[in-house]
A and B are shown apart, each in its own frame.
Chain A
Amino acid sequence: AQSVTQLGSHVSVSEGALVLLRCNYSSSVPPYLFWYVQYPNQGLQLLLKYTTGATLVKGINGFEAEFKKSETSFHLTKPSAHMSDAAEYFCAVIGGNNNDMRFGAGTRLTVKP
């Protein structure tokens, strides 16, 4: 069965600083990987996805993530944090025979002025 681990339930950065949110996965088959963002009182919004092809994927709002098979990782980055990036971020994987999605526990990002 597939699973996801997000290191750090809370991450705090200063405005303009690099954002790095970590995600490691396990999967019995080549995975499909996703990052979702949840702003307060809203549903989950897709940031980016990796299915096949280029391992560096770009998403909305300047975010990108790199699929590293050797490290079983799919870390999310953004070069310069903006106040509006404050939200909770979820890494997710589809990677089992049942094709169902499994989520990490989430990382809450705080951006300080």
Chain B
Amino acid sequence: EAGVTQFPSHSVIEKGQTVTLRCDPISGHDNLYWYRRVMGKEIKFLLHFVKESKQDESGMPNNRFLAERTGGTYSTLKVQPAELEDSGVYFCASSQTTNQPQHFGDGTRLSIL
């Protein structure tokens, strides 16, 4: 089966611009998660979708971040406007149920200049 795929793998943008990250979960996985790792720090939870609904978005840093999962398939994470502190690696993961292991994508490395 195809794994979790993320696009793009790298993105370099200037402060103030907008960037949209995409995640395609494993087919049939209702649960989709976004995480972020800022350089040298731990992987931090951002939010969790169950199908198209946001189950938990307590980790979203601020209202410059908007995540969607229309139709319950792929998800997008938009950062608008991007700030320097948003740089990091953004991981997406999916799972069939909430207590099963999450399968991770390779991440999107986001650099804000």
Between A32, A99, A105, A106, the greatest number of chain B beta carbons within 10 A of the residue's beta carbon is seen for: A99
Closest residue of chain B to A46 (Cβ to Cβ) is B101
Q: In the complex, what's the smallest C-beta–C-beta distance from A96 to chain B, in angstroms?
A: 10
CB-based contact A99/B98 at 8 Å: yes
Q: Is the interface of A mostly helix, strand, loop or mixed?
A: strand
How many chain-B residues does the 8 Å CB contact rule pick out?
A: 23
Q: Which B residues touch A103, using CB under 8 A? A: 35, 42-45
Interface presence of A45 (CB below 8 A)? yes
**Range of interface residues on A (Cβ < 8 Å):** 20 to 34
CB-based contact B101/A90 at 8 Å: no
CB-based contact A44/B91 at 8 Å: yes
Interface presence of A53 (CB below 8 A)? no
Bound-complex Cα distance A32 to B105 (A): 21
Binary per-residue interface labels of chain A (35-55) against chain B in the complex, 1 for a CB within 8 Å, 0 otherwise:
010000111111001010000
B99 in complex: contacting residue of A32, A36, A42, A46, CB < 8 Å: A32
Q: Which A residues touch B105, using CB under 8 A? A: 43
Q: Which B residues touch A102, using CB under 8 A? A: 45
Q: Which A residues touch B44, using CB under 8 A? A: 103
Bound-complex Cα distance A44 to B43 (A): 11
Q: In the complex, what's the smallest C-beta–C-beta distance from A9 to chain B, in angstroms?
A: 9
**Which B positions have Cβ atoms within 8 angstroms of A?**
4, 33, 35, 41-45, 48, 55-56, 58, 91, 93, 98-99, 101-107
Pairs A–B under 8 Å by Cβ, sample size 27: A41-B106, A42-B106, A43-B4, A43-B104, A43-B106, A44-B43, A45-B104, A46-B103, A51-B99, A98-B58, A99-B98, A100-B45, A100-B48, A100-B98, A101-B33, A101-B45, A101-B93, A101-B102, A102-B45, A103-B42, A103-B43, A103-B44, A104-B42, A105-B41, A105-B42, A106-B42, A106-B43
